[in-house]
């Protein structure tokens, strides 16, 4: 057990990960890691007194879910601190559903979670993790948020990587066609809620998605936005500063940005007066 725990602590180091990729050892190391971990099948995490389980049936799935957990715990803690029973939470780029599952447990049966994930493999894992946790307050469209309703090309990420990094673009490479929508249109036409809190992690398409939910994010009932900005994946005519200024234009009172592993983690907040249960 001590060997497994030591291996777990060091194996998610960015430096170790870079060396493994450089020497082409990822598949071997994933298999070895799963063997030492004895192929648990599911993994359990606990944060803020909330427990959740996630599917880990293969070496790749195990690495994906643990990698997400180790890299996103700080942001997840901030998200959970801002939610309470009855709230609505919007997860844009849900991937395996770590934020979705924990948020759904915090907001409870009276709350709502809307989780958008367009990539086929990630969406199937999301649905499986919702099922494993017996959640009935989650809606998970296989759809991407953008600034318009359309059919777009989703460039597929590396299925064997901890972060799959699928993204909307016109690049050359393996892809699938996905439906996009702007969230403001969904609020008006499909009765989706104005969320109390939004998390967004969509690999460079954040500027377009934010434009498509300007009315939602400007609504005084929306208290916070947690957004990962990916400078290297943004369109050539969009800078990280423009993304931050767009967020500022929605009327948030406080914006904080931190650099981490080539990304900018942006948290925008406002005070919500007379907050009522339900988040809408």
pLDDT, tens digit only, all 280 positions of the chain: 444 555 555 555 666 666 655 666 566 666 666 666 666 789 999 999 999 999 988 888 888 888 888 889 999 999 999 999 999 999 999 999 999 999 999 999 999 999 999 999 899 999 999 999 999 999 999 999 999 999 999 988 665 554 456 777 767 778 899 999 999 999 999 999 999 999 999 989 999 999 999 999 999 999 999 999 999 999 999 999 999 999 999 999 999 999 987 899 999 999 987 665 444 4
The pair of structure tokens assigned to 55 is 């599917």
Say which residue the tokens 């643990």 belong to: 66
Predicted TM-score (pTM) of this structure = 0.87
Full set of structural domains in the chain with CATH: 59-269 (3.40.50.150)
Burial class (CB in 10 A: 0-12, 13-18, 19+), 190: exposed
How many CA atoms lie within 13 Å of 151's alpha carbon, on the beta-carbon side? 3
Neighbours of 32 (CB within 10 A): 14
Q: Quote the CA–CA distance of 106 and 103 in Å, as a whole number.
A: 5
Q: Quote the CA–CA distance of 28 and 123 in Å, as a whole number.
A: 26
Q: Which residues pair with 52 in a beta bridge?
A: 45
> Are 141 and 122 contacting, i.e. CB atoms less than 8 angstroms apart?
no
Q: Quote the CA–CA distance of 33 and 182 in Å, as a whole number.
A: 40
Q: Which residues pair with 254 in a beta bridge?
A: 269
In the chain, DSSP assigns E strands to 41-47, 50-56, 88-92, 112-116, 138-139, 144-145, 150-155, 167-168, 175-181, 197-200, 224-229, 254-260, 263-269
């Amino acid at each position: 057990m001590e060997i497994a725990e030591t291996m777990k602590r060091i194996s998610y180091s960015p430096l170790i990960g870079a060396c493994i990729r450089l020497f082409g050892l990822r598949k071997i190391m994933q298999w070895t890691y799963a063997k030492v971990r004895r192929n648990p099948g599911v993994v359990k995490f606990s944060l803020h007194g909330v427990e959740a389980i996630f599917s880990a049936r293969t070496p790749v799935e195990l690495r994906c879910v643990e990698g997400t957990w180790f890299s996103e715990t700080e942001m997840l803690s901030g998200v959970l601190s801002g939610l309470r029973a009855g709230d609505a939470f919007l997860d844009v780029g849900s991937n395996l559903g770590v934020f979705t599952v924990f948020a759904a447990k915090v907001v409870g049966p009276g709350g709502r979670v809307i989780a958008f994930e367009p990539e086929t493999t990630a969406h199937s894992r999301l649905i499986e993790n919702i099922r494993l946790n017996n959640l009935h307050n989650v809606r998970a469209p296989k759809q991407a948020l953008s600034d318009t309703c359309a059919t777009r090309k989703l460039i597929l990420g590396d299925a064997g990587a901890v972060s799959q990094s699928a993204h909307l673009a016109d690049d050359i490479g393996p892809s699938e066609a996905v439906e996009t929508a702007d969230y403001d249109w969904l609020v008006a036409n499909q009765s989706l809620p104005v969320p109390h809190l939004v998390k967004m992690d969509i690999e460079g398409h954040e500027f377009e998605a934010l434009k498509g939910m300007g009315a939602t994010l400007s609504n005084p009932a929306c208290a916070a936005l947690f957004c990962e900005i990916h400078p290297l994946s943004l369109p050539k005519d969009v800078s990280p500063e423009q993304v931050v200024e767009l967020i500022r234009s929605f009327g948030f009172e406080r914006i904080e940005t931190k650099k981490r592993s080539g990304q900018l983690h942006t948290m925008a907040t406002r005070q919500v007066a007379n907050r009522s249960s339900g988040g809408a």
